[in-house]
Structure 1
Amino acid sequence: MRAPSPASAALATFRRHPLHFACLATLGLSACGGSDSLTPLPTLDGNAPLVVAHRGASGYLPEETLEAYTKAIDLGADVIEPDLISTKDGVLIARHDPNLAYSTDVASHPEFAARKKTTQVDGETQTGWFASDFTLAEIKTLGGISTDAERPQQYNGLYKIVTFQEIIDLAKAKAKETGRSIAVYPETKNPTYHRDLGLPLEDTLIGLINLAGWNSKDAPIYVQSFEPSSLKYLRAKGLKTKLIQLIDADDVDFKTGALTYAAPYDKPYDWFKAGDTRLFSAMVTPAGLAEIKTYADGIGPWKRYIVTVKGTLDASGNVKDINGDGKINDADTTSQPATTLIADAHKAGLFVHPYTFRNEQRRLASDYKGDPKNEYLAFYRLGVDGLFSDFTDTAIAARTAYLKEMGR
């Protein structure tokens, strides 16, 4: 066969990697001239930041359902993110919590009323129905519900719980349909809890990744966990995919802007079980980042580790309700100068994917002027390598504006 012309070769490359080659000149010529023709992006690899659909299009549809993931892909997501927990019969399903009361209509199923119980999850006492007491067949009779009262409720109960295998199949089918890479970003959720139940997540996860043909660093998959031991186990058992250490905190003290730490959001649960007294904050120090680099490829910090927020205090030292809605939340705060976390992580060779970006006004600092795109732009400009969003379309629109701003 004839070798492809430079123009057709350039077009083929562009179709495979549209974000990386947005500067293509007319196809009859060459791709963008010299190395100084583009403003370099401040990401670790110089590529455009990824948009990760957090639990699917969870701002619009009940989270972690096939419909939510499909909508996120149709809105342009690069990556779809499921949290993985186990059923009684050892099947990995997409739910954020082992407690099904939080995100399913299990409470309206009288046939399961007797399974309601009180137990401990990562040291926290919870009452509800737990996935480990249900077979997959039983869980398939449940419907997902919105976990946020301010989001659409009319879809509650309509969409079923999906397995991780079904999510892999969806990503592959949509990649073939759209001609673009659709990656998945599973989290081993409460791995110590599951291990203690005799339902460990990791080996099953590795098996599914191997079956998908995705056990390599360049495969369209990222594996994340809050527990270092889960990531270390995965690596030791031969998982070669990109691994991400998640970094949490409890809240922000609006009076000072300082992050607060309270169980179970103060430290990884495996650290607690091992008697390790460090907090999550130890992970964002240069020493902590160097430690993470020994077993992972990136970090997924709560976004407040990068840009925290602080309220305005009144004469009594209390945070002012600056929008007068009778509530104190992020809308009554102002963004503070960014920390050095992105630069520090990049220096350690780690990419940075903060979470979670949302559109609701109560979740936006006042200086974003009610426009969620302004928050995305602030983080894109700081050099994040990707971010988790409940609203894929907003994240994509902001990224498009950012790339245009950067001459891309």
Structure 2
Amino acid sequence: MYTRSWKDIKYPSNRNELMNIELWLKSKQLDDGAEGLWRIHDDLYDLTSFVDKHPGGSMWLLLTKNSDVTEAFEAHHFTKSAENTLPKFFVRKAILPRHYPFTFHPNGFYRILKEKARKYFNYKMPPTSTTSKIFLDFYFFSSIFLCILAAELENIKLAILAGMFFAFVVTCGHNFVHMKDSWRTYYYYCVSFSVREWRISHCLSHHLFPNTLEDLEISLFEPVFEWLPKQNKKLIVRFGSWLYFPLVGMVLPFFQVGNRIRNGVFMKEDYLMFLPLYLMIIFGKSVIYSFFLWLLVISVCGFIFSVIGLTAAHHDTEIFHEGDKPREDRDWGLHQVDATRDRREIIGNKYVGLIVFGEHTLHHLFPTIDFCYLQQLLPIYYETLEEFGIELNVKPIANIFFNSFLQLARINPNLITRKQKQKDI
């Protein structure tokens, strides 16, 4: 069992079970003290009448009913519109204390940074970037074209290229999954991924609680990958995972589809995963060979996506992982800084960053802002880090990539906080 790295915070229910997305939702409902409503800080709200009016789409509120949405509310609402609307839905104070340790004090790092960012954008939410739309549309339609061409010519190389482009659809498209509902999110289903699944495991879990026991992008891979430091971690997991990493990535899309079927949440949109296969069979010369090429496309997509996603920004050995000693200031924004690490070579390059999760810390701090605008906030971000005496968290790509595998092997927690390290220096 992992131990919590902060005192007096409840160990998550069902955390030692073989975790899945539906079980995680149920665990939050058990732990969050929302009393059947929506909890924000220590207040309870009844948003039932607002579900269909929610500007971001009804899915967000339907998924979070009977849970604590404090972190989601703070991170997802950039303007003050939601804050001004919320009081009309107030019901009463919550009985139980909050399950999570994070704070959002007015004079804390996150609130100060957020106010500066709001001022920079004139207190308005910047619109979706045309660049993001063009990139995503290009990768999607290129993927479809390459699938058809691969089937017609029975060309494995074209199928591999289609899989690579589909991986970029996932990485680039995740920008839209964080935002309000859009027809472009349907691209995800064509690559065997699910918007609902991503909004739970990625947006509501990983983004809000990175590298903690509440992070589904940690627990869903256990015991195959164990990124959290743990004394009794098996050798096969510590070092063998370096070898079977590619295989896990290749089967990831199929595994996710299987989970949705098993949990009874396979929706009508999920049938879009067969669109590339349907087109490949129509234009291909052989049904069997077209099916083989389709499996190859999805496998390559899963592999490339896994390489990018799982080694991008969260698993350097100096990054905070549950079990390490956290800083005393539990400001949510500082936790995001401690649990991410940006790659030096792609900072400020929105074209590369769109497909490899660039400006990653800022993306965690402001997930609903289109990625292409985040580089504009870099001066404000650096200024606020300096104001709070926080070290800029940047390393070369190769360093972060290889350290992500060293993190799999790490069994001893870091007992010195990041701020203490700065003082020692």
Please, what TM-score do these two structures have when normalized by structure 1? 0.28
Select the structure that is richer in helix.
2
Structure ranking higher on relative contact order (CA contacts 8 Å, 6+ apart): 2
Please, what TM-score do these two structures have when normalized by structure 2? 0.28
